[in-house]
Structure 1
């Protein structure tokens, strides 16, 4: 029953499209296409409807701004993680050449722990 309801909703949406319909060609692997077929069967929507919904999602400006902020936060975390990884490599290189752990090693490992806690918190917030 819900499949027919979804189809009707999609047809109504198609009638509301302003202007002429545009066609887009999409390339995907066989595995991705199989997943799309499965979603079509589960939802009763066409591949086109699923892809439009996935691509455009919510046109809500608040949701779009939230996604933009989340992406910016993830990119900042990625840069910080690269910096920490570089510091860990320097500590390892120093230890391998001198067999000594430098004083900055403790600070680097504290940063690793702190970053791990923050990263996990952010990931948990992003998980639906």
Structure 2
């Protein structure tokens, strides 16, 4: 069985609030003045994405498709978490099937459920592959 409590801890290890260092450092800086209301919104959004405000501003401004690298990474992390959870569920369903097999009675609902779990897992795998290619 998958321990659901472990999922957020694993996901946090993949998250980096600041951008990675670059050789030679960053040569330019910009100063942006905001109202208290704008600051509150920026802080809220940065916290939602678990990044710093400067990283949020840069990624938002430079994202070619409207999707920031942080949003994309978070989507991939979530897909992997869902995949692990689904694998745990499939394992539990398989254990139920084994118990039913011990009695000699295999129910049609169990077979259909196992097929559905497999189809969903394959769809998640395909989605992760597509995210990695684009």
Q: TM-score, normalising length from structure 2? A: 0.46
In our comparison, the structure showing a higher alpha carbon Rg is 1
**Structure ranking higher on relative contact order (CA contacts 8 Å, 6+ apart):** 2
Q: TM-score, normalising length from structure 1? A: 0.48
